[in-house]
Chains A and B, each alone.
Chain A
């Protein structure tokens, strides 16, 4: 008790035991990561890596089994043409899925808009640009209805769009009287409606304006999602709407605008649809809902929201396209093509769940 001022009082005999004890307070346990875990972390940090790898592997696998017929520039560019519509509609679906929603009405909006464009331009004879603008406005209108029901009445998107799918499809049948407008008539009276089907040859590959349109759309959505406040808000709303609201994001306004944007994209999808199939058929687009969801899921987005990328969706659509084209060229019966695509979806989601365990 004599040396109070010194920094380290001499230890008393009973205190000596402390020196041998644990002196660390708290710390994280750092285990050596196995290569598998490193891969898991890498994939978690790069959400488009998995679909990109799957795409490369499936192209390589079909290239190996089918040979040059599959790997030709022409065939590979053909696959891009074949996925154009689903790529565009999938882009709309991606935005909705990121907000933890789902849009079952995308196919119906697309076909309704295509019929409106065709009726106005070909049957009624309005100038094609006006028909196009009205068609896009109609798509926006469909989105306004979806968005209002989701944000004002607080109905689940699944229910809202299940209902509006029927409504839009019925309107389409009523307005078109179930009648197809033939390709030849469209070409004669309103060629602008088919403009996105115009082919462009590049070194043996063949693209259409529609393919470039799809790439442009994906690029601009990528920019909006990753480089603008709107995009970051979208992810925040999808991940945790309450937290997003508390941090000052106007969640309802974001949600509403997403449905309107999706409606506009579907209307643009209608334009690519007319370009691709030439004619305007009220029967078209019947599988677009599920195909777009397939592309989104295979592309690595989570149906629970907050996770997903537009590039992933494009790659997801391409994977399905590669599978269908490759299996068709391998002489695989269409029955087994369906079977394979089914497994593709399940494996994609299982893989996604495994990658998410990193953060758990």
Chain B
């Protein structure tokens, strides 16, 4: 993205040194505490670094990666991570899009929906997890009580069931991220030229046609950026599921980050966990590249 469109060389200016003075305060910590550790982390993936190791850390080449290739637990968690990320991102986007279109209409309870939408956004992820544990609680939870009153079931332990745990945490993921997506799409909708909409309506275009020809083209950049970022954030998420199930039952909700965290900070396998991080980054980079390619193609139209 940065290299493909090389900027025209700006004329050297007299106050260029002043520019460096403005940039360095942020640049130095970024290089020391973000870019540096990132490179260090990638380096660690090629070593046998462990916590509390008495011998010096050794360079082991691709050993960690070849171990990872045969680590079925890791690939299980990777698959769960993909299911989770898609299962959260796609419904979340569709719901948020519908809701944003809805909240863009002059409806009476709009203010309430807008006000409520702030709450999950501002809540610590840990609190969201705790709150949904209360909702899903087999005895004292509101979900089972509702189902009991409707005679639809009794006392399912949603977060502990082998088949219910992943869907249950996915619902929480959707709940937690929907407001952010909605508000962004709503802000994007404000960019849609109203005159175009009215002109299309005068020409007799129905709601769907107006959405496809007027709203969506204007919304597309925001929508693509939101889904891509949401997918990445969801794939890398940790706190929500850590609080809800801690990866259980039987690893059914063990997202890659939870797996890597355990490997690094419970078993002290720093090198191996770093290799996991590298694999996660590699996959995400490919997805990001595909997304950016799609976005650039869209810009050509």
Whether both chains belong to one complex is answered with no
